[in-house]
Amino acid sequence: MTPPRPGPTTAVRPRLVDGRGELSDAVLRALRSGGPPQYTPAAALKAAPWGEDLQLALYLLYEPHYRGFDGVDDAREWDPDLLRLRQALEARFLHALRSELSHAPRSVEEAFAPLLVEPLDLSGSLSHHLETAGELWQLREYAALRSLYHLKEADPHAWVIPRLTGRAKAAMVAIEYDEFGAGHADRIHARLFADLMADLGLDPTYGRYLDHAPAPLLATVNLMSLFGLHRALRGALVGHFACVEVTSSPGSRRLAKAMRRCGAGAAAEHFYAEHVEADAVHEQVVRHEVIGGLLADEPNLECDIAFGCAATVLLEDRLAHHIRVAWDRGHSALRTPLPRG
C-alpha cells in the first residue's frame, strides 16, 4: 500500500522554527521546555504590532489550536501562561487594526460595495501582475507564502459555526461542506492546494514554509485565528469570510491563467479554476444568507462584520505591497528565497 503523501491530510506536525525577537524566542523556549514563557512585560506592551517578532509569536501561540508542533505537548494549547502572553499580543494587534481602520465603513453595504465591482485599473493587483507578467519563480513564491493559509483553508472559519443560528448557520455549513470536499477527501481545498504545490516543485507538508514567511503574510493568517478563537469577534470572522469569498473568484480566474501561461501544471491550474466557480456561488450565499441571517438574529453585529471585511482588505493590501516592492526590485518576497531552479 502506498503511504499518503505529506500534506494537510496526513498527521504531520510542523517543526518549530527560529525566533525573530524577544517575544517569539520566549514562546519557542516555552514550547520546547514545557515551562512558562520568560519575557519582560514591556516587550509585550511595546511590541511593534506589524513586526516580525509579534506576528511570529502570535502564529506560534495560535498553532496549538490547529496541528500543534512536533515534540510539543498537546496540553500546551490551554497553558495559562501562554494564553496570558497571547492575550497581550492580541491586544496590540487588535488595537493597531482598529487604529488603522478608525475611518473605515461601519455598515455592511459600505464595506462590501467596492468589492462587488471589478476595478478598471488593475495595475496594483497582484493577481493581475501574475496573470500578465509573472514568472514561474514568482508563482512558486506566492504559493509558498499562501500555503500557511491554504493548507488550513476553511479551518478557522469553522469555529464560527457553533456561534451562529438558523439561516446563518445552515448557509455557513453548506459553504464549509464544499470547502472540505463535499465528503470526498481528495477534493478538500487544502488537498487541492497541496497538489498545486507539488506541481510547482514545492514541499506540500503542512507548515513547511513558516520560516520563509514575512510578517505581512503571518498577519493575514493570524487575523483569521484572532477572529476565530474569540466568540466576541464572531461578526468580524463572518466579515472576513465574506470578504474572502466575494474577492476570490476574479482573482482565482487570473491566477488560473497565470498557472496555465507559465506551464505550472494541471493541478496548479485546477486549484484556482475550482475556486472561480465555487466562490462565485459562495459569494451569493455568504452575503445573502450568512450575513443576512446573522444580521436578522443580531443586528448589533453589523459594525463588527464591516470591521472584519475592512481588516481583511487592509492586511491583504499590505501583503500585496510587500510582495510587489520586493519583486519590482528583483528580490525575493520571502525571508529566505527558494531555489529558482
Residue 310 lies in a domain: yes
Same domain membership, residue 175 and residue 62 = no
Same domain membership, residue 163 and residue 276 = yes
Residue 81 lies in a domain: yes
DSSP 187: G
Write the CB contacts of 267 (distance below 8 Å, at least 6 apart in sequence): 192, 195, 196, 198, 199
pLDDT at 340: 67
Q: What grid cell was written down for 117? A: 465591482
CATH of the domain at 300: 1.20.910.10
Backbone region of residue 184 per phi and psi (left: phi > 0; alpha: psi in -120 to 50; beta: other values): beta
Q: Whole-angstrom Cα distance, residue 135 to residue 73?
A: 42
Same domain membership, residue 209 and residue 95 = no
Query: Can you give the residue range of the structural domain that contains 78?
Result: 22-100
Burial 200-224 (b: 16+ CB within 10 A, else e): bebebbbbbbbbbbbbbbbbbbbbb
Give the residue from 43, 76, 100 where a domain finishes: 100
Residue 13 lies in a domain: no
Write the CB contacts of 158 (distance below 8 Å, at least 6 apart in sequence): 176
Same domain membership, residue 33 and residue 113 = no
Q: Whole-angstrom Cα distance, residue 337 to residue 137?
A: 10
Same domain membership, residue 123 and residue 85 = no
Residue 3 lies in a domain: no
**DSSP output for 252-301:** HHHHHHHHHHTT--HHHHHHHHHHHHHHHHHHHHIIIIIIHHHHHH-GGG
Residue 204 lies in a domain: yes
Positive or negative CA dihedral for 197, 202, 206, 209?
A: negative
Are 9 and 185 spatial neighbours (Cβ–Cβ below 8 Å)? yes
Residue 246 lies in a domain: yes
Total domains present in the chain = 2
Same domain membership, residue 210 and residue 309 = yes
Residue 87 lies in a domain: yes
Same domain membership, residue 255 and residue 145 = yes
User: Angle at CA 15, nearest 5°, toward 9 and 19?
Assistant: 140
Q: Whole-angstrom Cα distance, residue 275 to residue 14?
A: 27
**If you compute the radius of gyration of the chain from its CA atoms, what whole number of angstroms results?**
19
pLDDT at 2: 40
Residue 130 lies in a domain: yes
Same domain membership, residue 83 and residue 185 = no
Backbone region of residue 106 per phi and psi (left: phi > 0; alpha: psi in -120 to 50; beta: other values): alpha
How many Cα atoms within 13 Å fall on the side-chain side of residue 297?
14
Burial 294-319 (b: 16+ CB within 10 A, else e): bbeebeebbbbbbbbbbbbbbbbebb
Same domain membership, residue 263 and residue 207 = yes
User: Which parts of the chain have pLDDT scores under 70?
Assistant: 1-11, 120, 279, 340-341
Long-range Cβ contact pairs of 337-340 (< 8 A, separation 24 or more): 337/141, 338/137, 338/140, 338/141, 338/144, 338/202, 338/212, 340/137
pLDDT at 50: 98
Q: Whole-angstrom Cα distance, residue 298 to residue 311?
A: 21
Same domain membership, residue 70 and residue 204 = no
* Beta strand ranges found along 5-59 (DSSP E): none
Same domain membership, residue 238 and residue 255 = yes
Q: What is the pTM of this model?
A: 0.94
Same domain membership, residue 311 and residue 255 = yes
Give the residue from 100, 125, 145 where a domain finishes: 100
- Straight-line distance from the first to the last Cα atom of the chain, in angstroms, rounded to the nearest whole number: 32
Are 26 and 37 spatial neighbours (Cβ–Cβ below 8 Å)? yes
Q: Whole-angstrom Cα distance, residue 104 to residue 91?
A: 19
Q: CA torsion, points 207, 146, 244, 330, in degrees to nearest 10?
A: 150
Give the residue from 54, 71, 100 where a domain finishes: 100
